[in-house]
Every structure is written in C-alpha cells, then in structure tokens.
Amino acid sequence: MKLFSSLYPFLRFFLFLSDPEILHEKVGLLLRVRHFLRRWLPYKSTARTQFAGKPLFSSVGIAAGYDKYGKLFPALMDLGFATVETGTFTPYPQNGNPRPRILRLPSEHAIVNKMGFNNPGIEKGWKEIKKGLRKIPPNAAIGISIGKGKDTSLENAVDDYKFCLDVIQSDLLPEEEKKILYIAINISSPNTPELRKLQSRGYIGDLVRKVVKVSQFPVLVKLAPDFDTDEEFTQAIESIISNGAYGIIISNTTVNYADAGKKADAAKNFGGGLSGKPLRERAEYLLQLARNAAGPDIPLISSGGVMSPQDIQKRLSMGANLVQVYSGFIYFGPSIAHY
C-alpha cells in the first residue's frame, strides 16, 4: 500500500485526463472486478471501534454521493473503508443536472459538483443494496442517505423521506438490518432547489420528529457548512437533537466559493457545491461548534476536507465518532483509509 500511495500522484495525472464521471464509472468497474477476484481471500477486519451499537473495523468511511447507485460499497469496504454512506436516494429515479456537472480544481485539491441527486430511485437502489449487503466484510456497515425529489414542495418533503424509509423497512431481513448503521436525512445538498430551506427553524424540527417516529434505524441529519451565523447552526443542532435524531453529519459541500482561493471564480462560474481542501478549516470549526452544542454523547460524523490520515486523526481527537472522505479519496487514493 505504501508503494501504491507514493505512486498515486503519478497515476492521478493520467486518471485526471479522463472526464470525471467517465473516470468514476471506470474506477467503479475496476473496484468491482478487484472485489470479485478477491472474494475467497480472508478479510482482516477486526473491530476497532463501534457506532450505533455496531462494531466497525475502522472509523473512516466513504461519504454520500460516491456510491449513488448502491453498487460499490462492498468493493469500497474491501479497500479499507468500514462504512459507506450510499445514495442519496430519492423516491423516484432522477437524471440529475445535465453534464458537465463535476469540475476538478487540482491546484486546490478541490471538486465542484452540481450533480442534482442523479440516482436510480429508492426501490431500485434498495434492491442493489440488498445484493451488496451479502458480500460485505465483518465489522462493516452502511448508511443510507435519503433526500427529497426535485419537484417535491418543501411542505410535502417529509413524505418523500418517509416513502424512502418505507421501501426499505417493508422488505428488510433481520440480517440486513444488522448491517445498516443509520439513515441519513440529507437536507443540505446545494443542488436541489430549496432543499437547504429544510434546515431552517420552520421545517427542521417537524421533519426530524416525523422521520424519527417511523424509522427502525438511528436517524442522522446531514447539515450544510453555510449557515449565516454560528447561532443559526447551533439552533439547528439543538432542534435535531431535541426531536430525537441519533446524530449529525457535518458537513456537506459549501457554496462559499471564496474558499477556493485563486480558483474562486472558476468555482463560482461552474456553480454547485465545493468540496475538498478548501472546506477543511470550516468543517473543523463546525465540528468543534457542534461538539460543544451537542455535548459529549451525541454521535457526530465529520465530513469535509479530510485529505490525509492525519486529518482523520485530528477529527477523531476533536470529538468526531466517525470520519468520512470523498475528495480526499479522489486526490490521494485508498491509502487515506489507513490512519
């Protein structure tokens, strides 16, 4: 793995000659073939931590949006990630925004995306997940991220989240339930019009309470990093907790393009959410704020700008229970999992 990680920057040069989405498809296929060929090898996955009462072989996982179709998580776990947040899934299939919708900013170790919840819909997604759950290693488990459809009004949004849960729960075997860590309520993608309004006082408490009430799984809420004030952010945290959520994922991508430094204009002109290194400082700050507001016992998952094993250790020492990577995996490869 050490040799691979030192060669990765050279490999990345060639990989990045490909269009980001085509590369994602090719890498996904390669990972699945690798997983298939290694299927008889024993897993080295002794429990190292636990989350939501389940043992995990590592505190690091892949953030939502990498496995949007629910097909890649066993192969990603085989690379060393103990958790994968699949999705985001909406009630019905969506094509997302037209391509190009991913922009790499290599000089900043950043990505801008305006995918818009392209996904197969929860029914098809859940069928894929069920197949994959049979193939995952011991001490690994998934999260399932659910979102509202692009044409659903804010007033009816709660029905979309409940619909997704219902599809999962109405066809759930006990051995599958054991491998699902949590359901993530995604109300923070910047690429579904108005979605982030669900984070505001008028919606968030009601939404969380109604979803928690029907969920068999621990419910986590994924927040954006772009609250106007710290007070608004901590109010959202308090509302999430007081309405029964199990924990919080902080954070999604940012629309504060200024963080992209000399590439700020390029990011702004492309539009969508910025992730990777420019998000690091903000994500660390919000983790600290959330830990203070939530107290020591509420589970927090840290996402945003985790670009190295040292970053993973730092987030854990700052009070994160689990850490997720996305851009760091794209820029530095699978060795990031070994913190």
Ligand X SMILES: Cc1cc2nc3c(=O)[nH]c(=O)nc-3n(C[C@H](O)[C@H](O)[C@H](O)COP(=O)(O)O)c2cc1C
For the CB of residue 275, give the shortest distance to ligand X in the complex, in Å. Answer: 3
* Residues of this chain, 117-176, that bind ligand X according to CB under 6 A: 145
Write down the H helix ranges in the chain. Answer: 2-15, 20-37, 73-78, 122-133, 157-169, 174-177, 201-214, 230-242, 264-270, 280-294, 309-317, 327-332
Residue 188 or 215: the one with the smaller Cβ distance to ligand X is: 188
Does residue 328 belong to the site contacting ligand X (CB under 6 A)?
yes
Residue 47 or 256: the one with the smaller Cβ distance to ligand X is: 256
Does residue 276 belong to the site contacting ligand X (CB under 6 A)?
yes
For the CB of residue 138, give the shortest distance to ligand X in the complex, in Å. Answer: 25
Nearest-angstrom CA–CA distance, 285 and 158: 30
Nearest-angstrom CA–CA distance, 246 and 208: 10
Residue 38 or 95: the one with the smaller Cβ distance to ligand X is: 95
β 300-303/322-325 pair status: parallel
Task: For tokens 């600290």, name the residue.
Answer: 288
* Residues of this chain, 82-121, that bind ligand X according to CB under 6 A: 88, 102, 111, 113, 115
Residue 55 or 271: the one with the smaller Cβ distance to ligand X is: 271
For the CB of residue 174, give the shortest distance to ligand X in the complex, in Å. Answer: 27
Within its chain, how far is the Cα of 24 from the centroid?
16
β 273-276/110-113 pair status: antiparallel
43 with 56: CB under 8 angstroms?
A: no
Does residue 326 belong to the site contacting ligand X (CB under 6 A)?
yes
Residue 102 or 204: the one with the smaller Cβ distance to ligand X is: 102
Q: Pattern 282-311, binding to ligand X, x per CB under 6 A?
A: ---------------------xxxx-----
Query: Which amino acids are annotated catalytic?
Result: 189
For the CB of residue 194, give the shortest distance to ligand X in the complex, in Å. Answer: 16
Of the CA atoms within 13 Å of residue 241, those in its CB half-sphere come to: 17
**Closest to 205 (Cα-Cα) out of 193, 187, 180:** 187
Footprint of ligand X (CB under 6 A): 63-65, 68, 88, 102, 111, 113, 115, 145, 186, 189, 222, 252-253, 275-276, 279, 303-306, 325-328
